[in-house]
Homo-oligomer: A and B are copies of this chain.
């Protein structure tokens, strides 16, 4: 793999700074009329093209209108839902209009989980007084069932709440402290990581594994502190798993503000009980699709550079940052290249993966088909960290190979991208790890991402238009730098 990367990066090192920009091939319908559209005049230098990609995105790009359609015409897009099916049609049509050489759907069987009627959760607080327990007050808890969670038993459940600060603490607890209770896992995301995705990755296991660990000790249900760095009143949902040999118990996220309240009251010696009704359910797999668009390469039509995001979302908010922004980036970056008159040497594909959130079936199917067809993938790029200002690219490769990509920073730093470094690329393209020379993740500014992540605040209005547009242009520039040998 390293040798292939070196081959790829060698020309980047040697050529992009000294070789002129190739004019589009003869068959490309590009006007050279000086009175023609600005977009139709092909610049001759890499810096000039990159400047034009950004200008075009900011002046008359489609990022904002694409995201508006996805968020407001479709809305959220839970795998298997009507919204997801509508998003497939919408984005296929958008790519057809953009002038991709071909656009197709890849059928894929996906899991179906439904939230059902809204959750109900009531917290009952009582305190020891004069030798007995006296009811104090009760509140409605803001909760969301976690993706994949089963429902509570008919009529709901009621049990005492036991708090733990981490999965480790839960594992060490005597079983009789847990049995018959609702476990409340109140682990805070560590605020000290500068990139908030690191905080997330160190904490996400409480949501993913919490139900398994709690059920092993006999808990009736699990409540998990929402995975966000902000103190707010919105529960943040997300994927959880069961294990075959372990009883399945209901699992829900609690808002951070309510998590703080529960923690305070327990610390004060209060007794907390929760009444919980979840109506979620798992169903047989159904048919859905990845959406793929391709610009066929002029020199190497059978070599692929791909750029993608995931089309599905959770069923709250509008999936604007997660991952509407990534879908928009992936479509718009390619359109920007075309509109600036660039015809890629290698084939470039936009891939809108289905089912990243709760199964990764789309990405797996794409990888399976690529393997079956023996397609040669040079680079897989993913945008799944929101629509914020571009900052870095993270590359899965050895240090030497990453060092060889550094000349690209020189071309991108005036646009706010100052680092290309080793790091996780993305969940969807991770399925291509064994079949692709380079995996690259787009890393925008991360401070606000988890304010909206998997919550009903992840709506169009939480996205800044210019930040989104800069992301599309940055990815267009990356595609160009990688393609332009």
Contact = CB atoms under 8 A, between A and B. Distances in A.
Interface string A448-484: 1001000000000000111100100000000000000
A464 B419 CA distance: 24
A160 interface: no
Contact of A389 (B414, B445, B451): B445
A41 interface: no
Given A58-B191, A194-B414, A447 B419 contact: no
A194 B416 contact: yes
A464 B451 CA distance: 9
A363 to B, nearest CB: 30
B389 A54 contact: no
A192 B447 CA distance: 24
B413 A419 contact: yes
B59 A415 contact: no
A414 B467 CA distance: 22
Contact of A194 (B54, B196, B229): B54
A230 interface: yes
A335 interface: no
Nearest to A192: B55
B447 A191 contact: no
Contacts of A54: 192, 194
A269 B109 CA distance: 57
A460 to B, nearest CB: 14
Contact of A465 (B58, B230, B413, B464): B230
Nearest to A473: B194
A263 interface: no
A418 interface: yes
Contacts of A451: 464
B413 A418 contact: yes
Nearest to A194: B415
Interface in A39-56: 54-55
A445 B451 CA distance: 18
Nearest to A445: B389
17 contacts: A54-B192, A54-B194, A55-B192, A58-B191, A58-B192, A194-B416, A194-B470, A196-B466, A230-B465, A413-B418, A416-B445, A418-B418, A418-B419, A447-B466, A447-B467, A448-B467, A451-B464
